[in-house]
Each structure stands twice: as C-alpha cells, then as structure tokens.
Amino acid sequence: MLGSSYGRAPHGPSGAKPYRAESPRSLMAKTPAKPAKANSKTSPSRRDSLLDEAARQFNASGVSQTSLAEIADTLEVSRAALYYYIDDREDLVFQVYRRSCERLARHLGEAAVMPGSALEVVQHFVARSLNPDEPELAALTELGVLRPTDRETVMAVYEGIVARLAAILEAGAKAGAIRHGNFPILARTVVSLIHWIPLTMSWAPTLFGANSVDRQEIITGINDLLASGWASDRGRPVNALAIDLDPLLVQNIAAFDRKRLAEGKREAILVAASRLFNRKGVDITSLDEIAAELGATKRTLYHHVGDKDAIVTACYERVYRIGQFIENNAFDRPQPGFSEMDLVVGVLRANAIALLRPDIEPLRPTLGFGALSAENRALLAAVGRNLTTDWQSRYSKLQSQGEVRAINLRLLLTVIPGGPSWLSKGLLDVSAERRAEIATEVVDVLRLGLKPI
C-alpha cells in the first residue's frame, strides 16, 4: 500500500531544480477589482476561462494558428478585454503552459496520497489528468515561443512532476508493484502520453472517421495498457530486428553530381528545419534561423525547397519517408529467424531512435499541421490514413496469432505515438550508445505495461 511518502518531490533526474510554488509575474494583480461572485467549482473566473479556451485551441490548432480574436469571439468578449489578463501572445502561452503544468502537478499530488499500489497511483494520475469534465491540459508543444525565464519556470514544474513520478515508480518497484526499469524514462513517457491525448482529439477522426475513440475510452484504455501492455505474453523475450538508420543520412556525394548535390542540400535543410521546429515550434522559427543553422541564405532555402509552407509540408513528407524506410527494411524482405512480433518491435524501436538522433530527427507529428494549405493538409491526411490502415492490419495479424491481447486496435493506434513523442523535444542529451536503451524503455511502457513480469 502507498502512503503519504509519495507526496514528497525529489530533485529532478536531469538535475533540474525542484519546483517551488512561487508567485509569478503578478498575474492575479490583473484580476478585476470587483470580480463577480461565483462558485469556484462550477464557475471559473474570467482569467481561468481565457486560459482554458486558449489551452483547448492550442491543442487543436497549435499556437501559430490560434488568434486572440478567435479566443475573444469564443468567450464573447472584445479582444481588448483579453489584455486585462495578459501582456501579449507570449504571455498567454506562458500562463497556459505554466497553469497546465501546475494542474498536472496537483493531479499527481492528489493521486499520490490515495491508498493503493504505485500502479494505482499512476492510473489515478492519468484518469485525473485526462478527466473530460476537467479543463483541458495544454500539451507543451511549442516551448520555443516562451521567453527564456518563462521557459525555465515551466520546465522547472515539468521536471518536478517527472522527478516525483519517477520516485513513485521506483518505490513501487521496491514494493513489488512495478517492474524494474529506468524510472525517469518511464515517468517521462507516462507524462508524454497524458500530453499526447488532447492533441489526438482533433486529428483522430481524420484517421478513423466515425470509429475514432472517445476520451473516456482512451482513459480506460491507457490505464489498461499501462498495467498489462499490449503483448499477450509479457515474459517472452523479443529478438527485435535492429534497423540501420545510417542510409537516411546525407551520404558523401561526388563533387560534379549536380542532382545528388541538390538532393543533399534539400535534405540538410529539412533536417535542420525539423530539429528547430521540434525545439522551438513552427510559428516562432523563421527562415532566417533555419538558414543560419545551415550557414546558408534564405535564397538557398527558397531554391531547394520553397517558402515556409513548402518547408513544413516537406518536413511532414520526410516523416512518412523515414517511417516508410524503416518499415521497408523490416517487412519488405525476408528476415530469417525473426517473428512478426520481432519485426514490429524493431520498427517501433527504430522510430524512437530516429527521434533521438539529431542528424535524422523527423518533425514531431501535429506541429504546424494547421498552418499548411488545405490542399497539403488533405494530401498528408490521406497518407496518414493509409499508414494507419497498414498498421491496423499488422496488429490484427498479431492478434490472430495470439501475440497481441484482445484490445481495441483503434485505441492502440491512437495512443502508441504518444509514448515516444517527447523524445524529439531536446529534453535529453544522450550518447549514441544509450539511444537503443532509451528507445527500448519507451516502447516497452505500452508493450509490457508497468506491472511486474
């Protein structure tokens, strides 16, 4: 049984200073002098309503595609009225991100003092954080929009959550309630899943149509996966296929091979753009910054790729190209000695490793998608549906072979990308030797769950 010992937050695993609830830039001083009387449980303040609506729109459309005018229209106030509570767009993002992290910390604190095992604490934490009756938490997808000091404040809260959750998992392992593993990595993956779900609610219908899963199904499904995983036999060793990603790199090109030189320059642009978009967000990353990262000019970007819309679209196409390369290396050639399960796990791990490699790192899904032209969104959505159909067939085959539990595959396909999505945020600086270890831990959170094996 867990007691209040889980209520203590240690220092973060990455060396970040622990979070202290300190008063930020006198936001409450901006509250109206005569606020309307209201029941705080049923009638949020105007500031709360503003931050809740902004969080919802950030998740649905991204920071770049969320306008203050749209938020004001939804709240039925003037745009000028918003500036009673915020200084500017950057301040709004800061307040939304900080408040979401503080709520996440509160949900973990409330779950930690409830009676039950460490696994039950994690499940309570997930259920509270994703409760559809609670305001939506904003995923931290565009931290680069924040001013440096504001980013430090948000990241301090985030690292405090990770450290506390890692301590809960470690204590649970000592008590025999959690399988052993790299607890900070397991904790980051659980938090990543929580942040992922609000993002999926806007695009899941595009992939699954009317058959997409609802929020309550997702909460139940995630907690089931966190307990028991999707593999039927959790104790069976997996001989995962190791996939060489080096062919994805820009290779040595002959000096007079103009076509290959142009292709190499285009790929270098997309690698740099993807990395910057992942760290800073699409909206705040300028063509000048991408050019500076490469030691090139904006003219070079326009010549080899195009404007920003063209670059973001090409980065998305590159995501699919990397995924297709990995899948082709696993599924499109004979693999003697490897089962279908070995191949699937190998592909999942290779995709996670790609996110950790700064020389390959694909664009993180959902970033900047809303900013693309309608035509490009439709084309990319069609590709996404085809990939989803392919993977549903693979998992269905594994189910028929008894390798995957009898779970909702639409739910599994909705949730699985959320586990490794944090890997491309630049939160860890890891050696090449550790990438495979981290990828294995992240994939196994949902493959095996957290129960002891």
Q: What is the pLDDT of residue 255?
A: 59
Q: At what angle do helices 118-129 and 215-228 cross, to 10 degrees?
A: 160
Number of domains forming the structure of the chain: 2
Within the chain, how many helices (H) and strands (E) appear?
16, 0
Residue 131 lies in a domain: yes
Kindly report, residue by residue over 353-376, the tens digit of the pLDDT. Answer: 999 998 999 998 776 676 677 887
pTM, full prediction = 0.85
Q: What is the pLDDT of residue 93?
A: 93
pLDDT surpasses 70 at 18: no
Q: What is the pLDDT of residue 30?
A: 37
**CATH number, domain at 70?**
1.10.357.10
Taking CA atoms, 97 is separated from 6, 68, 137, 152, in Å, by 25, 16, 8, 12
Q: What is the pLDDT of residue 379?
A: 81
pLDDT surpasses 80 at 8: no
One domain, residues 286 and 147: no
Q: What is the pLDDT of residue 242?
A: 95
Residues written for the chain? 453
Residue 60 lies in a domain: yes
Residue 228 lies in a domain: no
What does the alpha-carbon distance between residue 436 and residue 432 come to, in Å, rounded to a whole number?
Answer: 8
Residue 92 lies in a domain: yes
Residue whose C-alpha is closest to residue 254's, from 269, 264, 268: 264
Q: What is the pLDDT of residue 20?
A: 37
What does the alpha-carbon distance between residue 169 and residue 13 come to, in Å, rounded to a whole number?
Answer: 13
One domain, residues 295 and 396: yes
One domain, residues 29 and 143: yes
What is the average per-residue pLDDT within 263-290?
90
| Residue 88: burial class (beta carbons within 10 Å; 0-12, 13-18, 19+) | exposed
pLDDT-derived band of residue 427, with 50, 70 and 90 as boundaries? confident
What does the alpha-carbon distance between residue 381 and residue 375 come to, in Å, rounded to a whole number?
Answer: 10
pLDDT-derived band of residue 254, with 50, 70 and 90 as boundaries? low
DSSP 425: G
367 and 417 in contact (C-beta within 8 Å)? no
DSSP 243: -
What does the alpha-carbon distance between residue 144 and residue 257 come to, in Å, rounded to a whole number?
Answer: 38
Contacts of 282 (CB under 8 A, 6+ apart): 62, 64, 142, 312, 367, 368, 371
One domain, residues 250 and 167: no
Domain stops at, among 177, 200, 230? 177
Q: What is the pLDDT of residue 3?
A: 36
Residue 260 lies in a domain: yes
pLDDT-derived band of residue 17, with 50, 70 and 90 as boundaries? very low
One domain, residues 264 and 359: yes
One domain, residues 253 and 153: no
Kindly report, residue by residue over 214-234, the tens digit of the pLDDT. Answer: 888 899 999 999 999 999 999
Residue 63 lies in domain: 4-33+44-177
One domain, residues 29 and 154: yes
One domain, residues 256 and 166: no
pLDDT surpasses 80 at 34: no
Kindly report, residue by residue over 184-216, the tens digit of the pLDDT. Answer: 999 999 999 999 998 887 666 666 665 667 888
One domain, residues 151 and 252: no
DSSP string of 171-225, one letter each residue:
HHHHTTSS--S-HHHHHHHHHHHHHHHHHHHHHHHHHHGGG---HHHHHHHHHHH
- 3-state class (DSSP) for residue 231: strand
What is the average per-residue pLDDT within 262-282?
90
pLDDT-derived band of residue 52, with 50, 70 and 90 as boundaries? very high
One domain, residues 275 and 143: no
Residue 384 lies in a domain: yes
Q: Which residue has the tokens 């549906």?
A: 385
Q: What is the pLDDT of residue 256?
A: 61
Residue 446 lies in a domain: no
Kindly report, residue by residue over 295-307, the tens digit of the pLDDT. Answer: 999 999 999 999 9
One domain, residues 159 and 304: no
Please give the backbone phi and psi of residue 231, each rounded to the nearest 5 degrees, phi first.
-80, 135
Mean predicted lDDT score pLDDT of the chain: 85
One domain, residues 15 and 145: yes
What does the alpha-carbon distance between residue 125 and residue 113 come to, in Å, rounded to a whole number?
Answer: 11
Residue 450 lies in a domain: no
Domain stops at, among 154, 177, 200? 177
